[in-house]
Amino acid sequence: MIKYLGSKRTLIPVLEQLAVASEAKTALDLFTGTTRVAQCFKKLGLFVTAVDTASYSLAFAKTWIEFDGGVGQLQLEAAIDDLNKTTPEAGYFTQEFCVNARYFQPENGEFIDAVRNRIETEFKNSWMYFPLLTALILAADRVDSTTGIQMAFLKSWASRSFNRMQLRDPKLLAGGGKAIQADAVSLVSGLAPVDLAYLDPPYNQHRYFTNYHIWETLVRWDAPESYGIARKRIDSRETQTKSPFNSRKAMPEALEKLVRDVNAETLILSYNNESWLSRDDLIDICRVKGSVELIEFDFKRYIGSQIGIYNKAGQRVGNPGQKRNLELMVIAGDPKRVAKMKLVGKHQS
């Protein structure tokens, strides 16, 4: 799985128990990101709908959530073996992200350019299109030279960047689901009712569109004009690429609307003690769903905040922050189910 800010990797065991306690058969993961949580629900046998605005999240959700694994696995492995034999050839990706910036070693950039072109020309109309894009992103992430966000690259090459890239089978999961690329707030009232909804919105001003602009471009393959040391996409400046959840002013109303409109028997809202809203605000927002409980977990902070972030000239452009953060989960809905789910929190503390 890729390095991703706010990824809920460490919360998966808890979320798994919460989903079991909720007795859900259908679930909605409204800010699916890496799809880790949606995958966890799918593995439990739930039919999951995974939503995110990011193009790379759509690729992940098509791969791991929408496709029923097992079908065509051999065909996918053969396509990956063949793509791994591709002759590298420099193009847009190499120029922008290996020459103008230093996110990847040029040899890997040339491989990415050539493989990505082949995926577009040979697989555009194939069911393997998204699984192959996912395999390419995962392979690139294993050899990048960043702390895990694409606003800056490391002063000296990361040792993993010297490895030569190879695509691996992303291992599809058995079961059913749906992948949707959309703004959660506008979409949610039009979705079918679900048993369990999981909400994990961004909780500060840091935008995923700019933090992961390289994955966005790799999936869109639209060679955008870019700017600055980080070579961000020019459309980062446009309103339609901005999320209300990155705005202190817009976020409370967006969250309130989302919670009100989501048609789910039980809801889990992940939040963080560094967010703009207090615990009481979160609880108040969730009251419209019925009974409300809050559980908290103490986790080590995202690594980028511990080691600091450096620009091309080797200057520190981000400082290490506090080393611990609290993950909060608000559970809301039918009182009996919420009471059962709350017991999961008790066993964790």
Residues that bind ligand SAM (CB under 6 A): 4, 6-8, 31-34, 36-37, 51-54, 57, 183-185, 200-202, 208, 243, 245
DSSP per-residue string spanning 112-160:
HHHHHHHHHHHHTTSTTHHHHHHHHHHHHHHT--SSS-TT---SS--GG
Instruction: Give me the least distance between CB of 75 and ligand SAM, in Å please.
Output: 28
Angstrom distance (rounded) from CA 232 to CA 150: 9
51 vs 194, which CB is nearer to ligand SAM? 51
147 vs 161, which CB is nearer to ligand SAM? 147
User: 73-83 vs 129-142: helix axis angle to the nearest 10?
Assistant: 50
32 vs 94, which CB is nearer to ligand SAM? 32
Contact residues for 345 (Cβ-Cβ < 8 A; gap 6+): 14, 293, 295, 296, 329
Instruction: Give me the least distance between CB of 209 and ligand SAM, in Å please.
Output: 7
Instruction: Give me the least distance between CB of 95 and ligand SAM, in Å please.
Output: 26
2 vs 114, which CB is nearer to ligand SAM? 2
Total Cβ atoms within 10 A of residue 23 = 13
Task: Say whether 317 sits in a helix, a strand or coil.
Answer: strand
37 vs 329, which CB is nearer to ligand SAM? 37
63 vs 243, which CB is nearer to ligand SAM? 243
118 vs 301, which CB is nearer to ligand SAM? 301
Instruction: Give me the least distance between CB of 272 and ligand SAM, in Å please.
Output: 9
Instruction: Give me the least distance between CB of 220 and ligand SAM, in Å please.
Output: 14
Instruction: Give me the least distance between CB of 150 and ligand SAM, in Å please.
Output: 13
184 vs 191, which CB is nearer to ligand SAM? 184
Angstrom distance (rounded) from CA 139 to CA 44: 27
Instruction: Give me the least distance between CB of 286 and ligand SAM, in Å please.
Output: 18
Token representation of residue 17 = 């128990």
Total Cβ atoms within 10 A of residue 46 = 23
Instruction: Give me the least distance between CB of 106 and ligand SAM, in Å please.
Output: 29
DSSP per-residue string spanning 155-214:
SS--GGGGSPP--------SS-EEEEES-HHHHGGGSPPEEEEEE----SS--HHHHTHH
Angstrom distance (rounded) from CA 253 to CA 155: 40
104 vs 212, which CB is nearer to ligand SAM? 212
Task: Say whether 310 sits in a helix, a strand or coil.
Answer: strand
Angstrom distance (rounded) from CA 265 to CA 346: 22
Task: Say whether 67 sits in a helix, a strand or coil.
Answer: coil
User: Is residue 6 a contact partner of residue 245, using CB atoms and an 8 Å limit?
Assistant: no
Instruction: Give me the least distance between CB of 242 and ligand SAM, in Å please.
Output: 9
